[in-house]
């Protein structure tokens, strides 16, 4: 993980998305789904889910939206959802991973394929780009919100809880974990009094691309936006920095 930081990417995406309430709710729905799948759909028995539910309520996410995400994860309501991952290439050969949960595979693959085509990309085969990513737990503490925190204290607490890596910048403390350790580490640090700007299990690009042209970057942004607007899509990851 050395040398890689998600923080600036997160802030850049947030600046573009904060004005779009639907985007915020989609991100929360994804986090609800992932937390419920990992630890059960009862917030009282799942500390990670409880944190996301509290965050959703603070963002004024409608109760129906919250329940829909939990039902998707638990299979309640009779609908059978299947988790699928699509792999492809966007503008300038940027690798793109799309995680989805769907009750109609044919519908989802068709709409995802069309989104790639709209912006000069193409849907690939299974395994074509996944090797370019690592799945990691990710926790970020905004240093501007907690100026009293120092690097040694966070490092000791995170490593004692079982974290794999901690990166420090002027803006944030970024904590990386193995996916299977994420919930226990998040719970341990929360109980120790820390709160997070971001907390998720995510895909990290091994070698982020930093030399996209303005035109390719614009096309990629539009591709990601269109994919994220798809109600079946849970998350989109790219190798673009």
DSSP string of 95-125? EEEEEEEES-HHHHHHHHHHHHHHTT-EE--
pTM of structure = 0.76
Residue 65 lies in a domain: yes
Residue with tokens 């690592």: 134
Tell me, what CATH number does 51's domain have? 1.10.10.200
Other Cβ atoms less than 10 A from the Cβ of 171: the count is 15
What is the pLDDT at residue 139? 94
Residue 85 lies in a domain: no
Query: Structurally, how many domains does the chain consist of?
Result: 1
Residue 22 lies in a domain: yes
Please say whether the beta carbons of 39 and 49 come within 8 A: yes
Tokens found for residue 90: 């966007």
Other Cβ atoms less than 10 A from the Cβ of 164: the count is 15
Least confident among 31-35, 62-66, 203-207, 234-238: 31-35
Residue 223 lies in a domain: no
Per-residue confidence band for 2, with pLDDT thresholds at 50, 70 and 90: very low
* Secondary structure element (H or E) that encloses residue 168, with its range: strand 165-168
What is the pLDDT at residue 117? 96
Per-residue confidence band for 83, with pLDDT thresholds at 50, 70 and 90: confident
Tokens found for residue 17: 């998305």
What is the pLDDT at residue 78? 65
Residue 67 lies in a domain: yes
Among residues 7, 6, 5, 1, the alpha carbon closest in space to that of 144 is found at 7
Spatial neighbors of 108 by CB under 8 A, at least 6 apart, are: 84, 100, 102, 230, 232
Share of the chain above pLDDT 70, in %: 90
Residue 106 lies in a domain: no
Residue 47 lies in a domain: yes
Mind listing the pLDDT tens digit for each residue in 107-160? 999 999 999 999 999 999 999 999 999 999 999 999 888 888 888 999 999 999
- 60 is in which domain, residue-wise? 7-78
């Amino acid at each position: 993980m050395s040398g890689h930081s998600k923080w600036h990417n997160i802030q850049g995406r947030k600046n573009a998305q904060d004005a779009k309430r639907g985007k915020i709710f989609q991100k929360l729905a994804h986090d609800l789904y992932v937390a419920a799948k990992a630890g059960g759909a009862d917030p009282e028995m799942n500390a990670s889910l409880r944190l996301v539910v509290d965050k959703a309520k603070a963002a004024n996410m409608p109760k129906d939206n919250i329940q829909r995400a939990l039902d998707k994860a638990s299979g309640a309501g009779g609908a059978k959802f299947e988790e699928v991952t699509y792999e492809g290439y966007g503008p300038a050969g940027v690798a793109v991973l799309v995680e989805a949960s769907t009750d109609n595979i044919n519908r989802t693959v068709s709409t995802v394929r069309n989104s790639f085509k709209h912006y000069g990309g193409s849907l690939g085969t299974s395994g074509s780009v996944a090797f370019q990513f690592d799945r990691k737990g990710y926790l970020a503490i905004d240093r501007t919100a907690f100026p009293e925190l120092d690097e040694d204290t966070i490092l000791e607490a995170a490593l004692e809880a079982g974290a794999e890596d901690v990166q420090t910048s002027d803006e944030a403390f970024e904590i990386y974990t193995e996916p299977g350790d994420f919930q226990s580490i998040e719970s341990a640090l929360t109980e120790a009094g820390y709160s997070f700007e971001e907390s998720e299990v995510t895909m990290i690009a091994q070698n982020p691309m930093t030399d996209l042209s303005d035109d390719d970057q614009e096309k990629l942004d539009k591709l990601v936006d269109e994919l994220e607007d798809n109600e079946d899509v849970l998350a989109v990851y790219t190798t673009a920095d």
